[in-house]
Amino acid sequence: MTPELAFLGQFGDAIQFIFVGETSREGTQVGGSQFLELTWEHVKLSGLSMAIACAITIPLGLWLGHIRRFSFLAISASNIGRAVPSLALIAFFVAYLGIGFTNLTVALVLLAIPPILTNTYVGVTQVDPETVDASRGMGMTEPEIVARVELPLALPLIFGGIKTSAVNVIATATIAPLAGVTTLGDPIINVSGYGDTGRLAAAIVVASLAVLTELLLSAAQRAATPRGLKLESDPSRRRRLPTRIGRAAST
C-alpha cells in the first residue's frame, strides 16, 4: 500500500485496488483496468434499462395524466413496485426465464417503471387546470398542450421519478452476476476471486456511481425546470397562500 493511503486502513487498500489492482490467486488481473470494464458493463446495463423504461413510461404517464384517467393504476404502481424486493424480482426472472443480459434488462426495466409512471402522472395532473384551459383557448391542440404546457410543468417531478429509478437500478445492477451479467457486483457475489479488498473496492465504486448519477440528474433537473417554476419555488419570492388548497395548487 502506498504510505499516503495507509491512514485509511482497509479503505486505503480498497482505493489502491480500484486504481492499481492486483493479481488474484488464479493469476488474473483484478481491479485497476479490469474495474473499468466492470464499471462500463454496470453503466451500460443500467443506462439501457433506464432508457427503455423512460421511453415506455413517460409517454404513457403523460397520456394518462392528460386524460386524467386510471389514477389508481398510476398511483399504486409505485406502491406495488416498492413492495417487490429487487432481489426477489431478479430471482423470479432467473428461476423462470433464465439468466442473460436481455432477461436482466427486462427485469430492471420493470423495476424502473413504477416511480417514473407515478411521478409523471402526478406531475401532469397537478398542472393548474386554468393553465390548460388557457392553452386550449389560445388554440393549441391536445398534443400541443401535452408537449408544450403539461410536459414542461411536470418536468421537475418527472426528473424526481427518473432519479429514484436510476439510483435503484444502479443498486440492483450490483446483483446482476446472479443473472450471469458481470457488473461491479462481480467482486461482491464472487468474492473468492477478488478478496475482501476487492469487495470493498466494488462497494466504493457502486456508491460513487449512484451519487454521481444523482448529482448529474439533479443538475439536469434544474436545467430543465421552466423559469416560472423556479421563481415559484424560491421561498423569498413566493407569495404565502392562505389555504391548504391554494398552497397545493401553487406547488
Partner 1 sequence: MPELLAQVQLQDRSTSEASCIADNGFCPSWIADNLDRYVDPFVQHVFLTLASVAVGFAIAFALALVAHRHRWLIAPIVQVTGIMYTLPSIAVFFLLLPLTGRGNLTAIVALVAYSLLIIFRNVTAGLDNVPDETKDAGRGMGLTDRQLLWRVELPLALPEIMAGLRIATTTTVGLATLAFFAGAGGLGEQIFADINFKSNVVVAGGLAIVLAALLDGLILLAQRAITPWTRARTA
Residues in touch with partner 1 (CB under 8 A): 9-11, 79, 82-89, 91-92, 94-96, 167, 170-171, 174-175, 178, 185, 188, 196, 199-200, 202-204, 206-207, 210-211, 214, 242-244, 247
Q: How far is the CB of 88 from partner 1 (least distance, A)?
A: 3
Question: In the block, which residue shows the cell 389555504?
Answer: 243
> CA-to-CA distance for 140 and 148, rounded, in angstroms?
9
Which C-beta is closer to partner 1: that of 38 or that of 210? 210
Q: How far is the CB of 223 from partner 1 (least distance, A)?
A: 19
User: Running DSSP on this structure, what letter comes out for residue 106?
Assistant: H
Q: How far is the CB of 149 from partner 1 (least distance, A)?
A: 27
> CA-to-CA distance for 156 and 142, rounded, in angstroms?
21
Which C-beta is closer to partner 1: that of 141 or that of 192? 192
Which C-beta is closer to partner 1: that of 76 or that of 141? 76
Q: How far is the CB of 196 from partner 1 (least distance, A)?
A: 8
Kind and range of the H or E element at 45? Answer: helix 33-67
Q: Distances from the Cα of 180 to the Cαs of 21, 24, 40, 93, 186, in angstroms?
A: 23, 21, 16, 12, 10
Supply 12's cell numbers. Answer: 486505503
